[in-house]
Amino acid sequence: MFKIILATLAIAHVVWAESEQSNLTVYTRTGTFVGGLNDTYPDVRHFKYVPYAKPPVGSRRWTAPEALDDSSQVIDSTVFGPSCAQYVSAIPTVWAMNITGNLIVNYGESLLAGEFAQNSAEDCLTLAIWTPANATADSNLPVIHFFTGGGDVTGGINIPTQLPANWVHRSQSHIVLTTNYRVNVFSHPHALGLDGNTNFGMQDQRVAIEWVAENIAAFGGDSSRITIWGQSAGSGMVDTYLSTWYDDPIAAGAIMSSAFAIGYPAMTEDFGGLNFTFVAKSLGCDFSDSKVELECMRHVPVARLENFIGQYQDNSTLVNTSQSAITFTRQVDNKTVWDNYTERHLEGKYAQIPTIFGSTAREFSALLPYAEDGPSEELITEDTLIFVCGAYNTSKLIDESGVPTYRYEWAGNFTNIAPVPWLGAYHYSDLYMFFGSYLIAPGEITDLEIQTAERMQDYFLDFITDPWSMSSKGWPAYDVTAVNGGNITQFGADGQAVQIVTGDSVEGACHISGAVYNTTP
């Protein structure tokens, strides 16, 4: 009998193992992906390397992304691919000096290397997917599709504090994706030889969303319940996307955290292509014909190009303050980035789907030039209002159109994620809570921090499950006509995980004469 029991258990184990292995293999039109189980949360399945467009290399450098062909290739998705080509600045920032886990993983390269990011490449148009381990093609789970920040010049999937395994583990009822897209000169070259084609990162975003809509059901997702979410530059991209693809957004809802199309602070006006030509001449592509200049630049090695631009920019700040700065960030082209978003809202050229707009109480404590004792409080307040008022102005326009929008302010100040006192609720720190990555931050974790993170995760989960019914789940819609400016859901302030406060108490300084903005509510 004992031998029979052992044999039965052995057979059961084999069946379970085969079932697990089968569940880790997903078939799509563009390839067969073999994933793995998360080391910390084995009830979470991940696919860390999923190409969504053809590699933008060689003759495809500085061209629109191309959808993938049909393929039966088997792809190992257990390890992250490279981030998109970028530079590791030598200029001190809070990200390198005070907090950890918020930059792309570069496997030993200094956070102040002053060199090309070794774990980055042009062949980078990939996304990563986290699902419950037991998800199948019949699960029909809601999906949240995240676009990372980085000021249009850095960022990527493999950032420790942006990995969502904890959140998926807790919910067991949704799917999270994060996405690489082109940045810096590879996204925003503004080269005259391109005849106005630029902002390739925004174009990557659309192709990524299209790939997800086509293929996410195979991973257990519901293509009719995709919410797109971005933070910082990624947030500005999502907001911009809703104006570009207003009549076909694919997404059922959208979340913008800490940067908005109205008032976006990192635009360039290099319409003459001067920055690109300066770099081209410096790298031996000195041609008066813009087409020849472009073709020559397509042959410059990626590391040489990134190092020249990055080191020139570093030197402009660290050594030669009189040196003319060069930037490669988004630019108005009236195709993917528009010159008047207020006008587009009033014309109805904005996706009619529910939205969430969020900001942090001290956005610019982490964004102003680095100082050991922190930036001036006056500058933190003044510049934080760029984002707060961007959220107010956009929410007001959406609310007036009759589409529900929801607002949050992240105001928590927990020492493990804000280890120096002047940081507070800085730009990015809300991501620790939504992703559940506060658990990997060194230092004490309080009960309030745990409660706040879980409430924040649950509110977002409610939204992506059914973005039209949030008011019935404890998050009242923003209503600009209401007394005291409507409702904003505030997280982590004044010893409370969540509370509903008036709009005027957060954003009154944007529209009420004499109102003072509070960076530490």
Catalytic residues: 232, 363, 427
The length of the chain is 521
DSSP-derived secondary structure for 321-350: TTSPP--------SSSS-S-HHHHHHTT-S
209: which residues sit within 8 A by CB, 6+ positions away?
Answer: 145, 226, 228, 241, 250, 251
- Eight-state DSSP code of residue 486: -
- Eight-state DSSP code of residue 184: G
How many other CB atoms are there within 10 angstroms of residue 151's CB atom? Answer: 17
Q: Residue 116 carries which side chain, given as an amino acid letter?
A: F
Pairing of strands 115-116, 126-132: unpaired
Q: Which residue bears the tokens 């981030």?
A: 83
The span from the CA of 428 to the CA of 309, in Å, is: 26
105: which residues sit within 8 A by CB, 6+ positions away?
Answer: 80, 119, 158, 159, 160
- Phi, psi (degrees; rounded to nearest 5) at 15: -60, -45
The span from the CA of 377 to the CA of 416, in Å, is: 22
Element (H, E) at 142: strand 141-147
CA of residue 1 relative to chain centroid, distance = 58
Are 67 and 41 within 8 A, CB to CB? no
Are 433 and 491 within 8 A, CB to CB? yes
Q: Residue 362 carries which side chain, given as an amino acid letter?
A: R
Tokens encoding 33: 């992906």
The span from the CA of 517 to the CA of 134, in Å, is: 47
The span from the CA of 208 to the CA of 86, in Å, is: 20
The span from the CA of 131 to the CA of 465, in Å, is: 15
Task: Quote the Cα angle for 259-264-265, to 5°.
Answer: 110
265: which residues sit within 8 A by CB, 6+ positions away?
Answer: 259, 386
Q: Residue 338 carries which side chain, given as an amino acid letter?
A: W
Tokens encoding 165: 């395994």
* β strands within 182-242, DSSP E: 221-231
Tokens encoding 437: 């990555």
| CB environment 477-501: b (16+ within 10 A), e (fewer) | bbebeeeebbbbbbbbbeeebbeeb
Are 403 and 480 within 8 A, CB to CB? no
How many other CB atoms are there within 10 angstroms of residue 369's CB atom? Answer: 10
